[in-house]
A and B are shown apart, each in its own frame.
Chain A
Amino acid sequence: MSSVASPKSTVVPEWARLVADSLKQYGVWHTYLKLQEARGAYPNDLSLRGYTEIIRNNIVRDFLAHPKGLAAVPKLSGEFLTNFDRFNLTAQEGYLVSLIDGRLDLQKLLVLSPFDQFTTLFNLAKLQHERAITVP
């Protein structure tokens, strides 16, 4: 799934196969970004939203698979503290970063976050993927 077919084509891509292949070859984050691109090209494709949600769901599931579960305490990474200009954070990610103090665990962050539980965890997983935070 390294490129998205033209939306002018009336043939709907075989999302299940494309997404499964992409997952195997490139992993969840690459697949997620490609699906986001595809959403722009196929805005009315309802099943495409479903595939995007499957990938987001797996990202959050993997994040929750931490041995400490919701008791895990995220910390800001050294790289973020010394070179935070490199990180191009969204407003939601920026707000969550402001909550991370090295003491609050995921359970407490979920309570303090103004966003829904899933969005909070997804953003934290993204921050971890981008190495802005670590979850030891």
Chain B
Amino acid sequence: MTEHRIAEKLTSPIAIINQHGDVEWKNPAFEAAFGPDAKDWLKEASRVVGGERGWLQDFFMEGEEHRTTEVEIEGRSFRVEHLMNVDEYATPAVALWFEDVTQQRQMEQAKSDFTAQIVHDLRGPLSGIQGTLEFVLSQEGTKLDSMYTDLLQEAQRESERMMGLINELLDFSKIESGSFVMEKEPVRVAGVLKRAVRSLQQVASRDEVFLLSAHGRDVPQVIGSVEKLTQAIINLVSNSLKFTPKKGLISVGAQVVRNGEVPESIVITVTDSGMGIKAAEVQQIWEKYKQSGNKSLRGGGGTGLGLYIVRQIVEAHGGEVTVASIEGVGTSMVIKLPVRKSTDTGVITAQRTLA
């Protein structure tokens, strides 16, 4: 067939593999990459043990075409693309395209390691500056002219902002390298929201913005990381603070979604009466380096990573994020977290979202 002749000329490995992990057809590039006998890893990829299944089975279970996955094969990273289902063999089969992305991933890892090192080196001296400013401003006996006090407070605010940016970069590099590890422990969501609101209450007062809790104490626990969930909520409230004018209102709420009497999930909302987001930009804001076209009311830009980090944290908790916004009226960032059993503890890792 012409199709097979074309595939044989391609330098990327392509194969038709059946549901048992047997190669029905392969091009020369596949044989060059994996050898004449690729059975070991294919058997592993096609296994179904209990509720767990190998990556190959996903292509058969989900039934959609043109999906991709990234897998490790014999120490190398491959992006595997599902080209089509093939039904001309005795056993259902799929045509797969393999792209070796090992070098690309190694370069990304090196870049991520370098970023992590730089960020780590920047945090040290900045912490020293912050400590010094805090010490000077906290000395009640010091008779500072009000102009100098204002300048020192401004320096303190800017150093806090810079630390925030550095921390975002550090988290981002950890997510990119797959080392953004989070504890899995029972988390009191009400406590997380309270802590986040309390930590930004002073900033909100300074900016003359009302910041209110909108949840009771009877919010069920979720399984995850207290620290990371708090960070996610702080990121959202900080973001709202940038775009909410004086006398505006930011509310942080939580509602329980029940299936009958059983709590199924918790919906957390961070809502502001800010300028809103343009309809064309709403779906992009959770992506890395994407920021709304609106200018911050408090000055200073961001890394464009804050909401991306929030999304990674929430997805690592098995949750989902969305946003509702009306230009000129306000924005609500919505997080849905599943309520899980307290036995489901351990460690989870945030993985970057492919494509």
Which residues of A are in contact with B by a Cβ distance under 8 Å? 15-16, 19-20, 23, 46-51, 53-54, 56-58, 60-61, 64-65, 115-119, 121
Bound-state CA distance A23–B329 (Å) is 9
Known: A46-B320, A116-B215. A51 touches B326 (CB 8 A): yes
Residues of A within 8 A of B324 (CB): 15-16, 47-51, 53-54
Are the CB atoms of B269 and A61 closer together than 8 Å? no
Known: A57-B273, A115-B216, A117-B212. A50 touches B322 (CB 8 A): yes
- Shortest distance between the CB of A40 and any CB in chain B (Å): 14
Residues of B within 8 A of A118 (CB): 212-214, 251, 253
Say yes or no: is B271 at the interface (Cβ < 8 Å to chain A). Answer: yes
Say yes or no: is B42 at the interface (Cβ < 8 Å to chain A). Answer: no
Are the CB atoms of B326 and A61 closer together than 8 Å? no
Which residues of B are in contact with A by a Cβ distance under 8 Å? 210, 212-216, 247-251, 253, 255, 267, 269, 271-273, 279, 282, 320, 322-327, 329-334, 336
Mostly, the B contact residues are strand
Are the CB atoms of A20 and B329 closer together than 8 Å? yes
Closest residue of chain A to B193 (Cβ to Cβ) is: A116
Are the CB atoms of B323 and A50 closer together than 8 Å? yes
Q: Name B271's contact: one of A46, A57, A65, A115 (CB within 8 Å).
A: A57
Closest residue of chain B to A121 (Cβ to Cβ) is: B212
Are the CB atoms of B332 and A50 closer together than 8 Å? yes
Closest residue of chain B to A50 (Cβ to Cβ) is: B324
- Shortest distance between the CB of B171 and any CB in chain A (Å): 24
Are the CB atoms of A60 and B329 closer together than 8 Å? no
Residues of A within 8 A of B214 (CB): 116-119
Mostly, the A contact residues are helix
Known: A46-B267, A49-B255, A116-B216. A57 touches B332 (CB 8 A): yes
Residues of B within 8 A of A48 (CB): 324
Bound-state CA distance A64–B267 (Å) is 25
Are the CB atoms of B210 and A54 closer together than 8 Å? no
Are the CB atoms of B212 and A20 closer together than 8 Å? no
Bound-state CA distance A24–B261 (Å) is 38
Are the CB atoms of B271 and A116 closer together than 8 Å? no
Extra contacts besides A20-B327, A54-B324, A57-B249 (5): CB < 8 Å: A49-B269, A50-B323, A50-B333, A64-B247, A118-B251
Closest residue of chain B to A45 (Cβ to Cβ) is: B322
Bound-state CA distance A107–B10 (Å) is 73
Bound-state CA distance A47–B323 (Å) is 6
- Shortest distance between the CB of A5 and any CB in chain B (Å): 17
Residues of B within 8 A of A49 (CB): 255, 267, 269, 324, 332, 334
Bound-state CA distance A61–B322 (Å) is 23
Point out which of A23, A50, A58, A65 has the most chain B C-beta atoms below 10 A from its C-beta: A50
Known: A16-B326, A53-B271, A54-B271. A64 touches B210 (CB 8 A): yes
Bound-state CA distance A50–B336 (Å) is 11
Q: Name B326's contact: one of A46, A54, A115 (CB within 8 Å).
A: A54
Q: Name A16's contact: one of B269, B273, B325, B333 (CB within 8 Å).
A: B325
Are the CB atoms of B332 and A51 closer together than 8 Å? yes
Are the CB atoms of A53 and B248 closer together than 8 Å? no
- Shortest distance between the CB of B251 and any CB in chain A (Å): 5
Q: Name A61's contact: one of B267, B273, B279, B325 (CB within 8 Å).
A: B273
Instruction: Show 29 residue pairs from A and B whose CB-CB distance is below 8 angstroms, ordered by the A residue.
Output: A15-B324, A16-B325, A46-B322, A47-B334, A49-B332, A50-B271, A50-B325, A51-B326, A53-B251, A53-B324, A53-B332, A54-B330, A54-B331, A54-B332, A56-B271, A57-B251, A58-B273, A58-B329, A61-B247, A61-B273, A115-B216, A116-B214, A116-B215, A116-B216, A117-B214, A118-B212, A118-B213, A119-B214, A121-B212
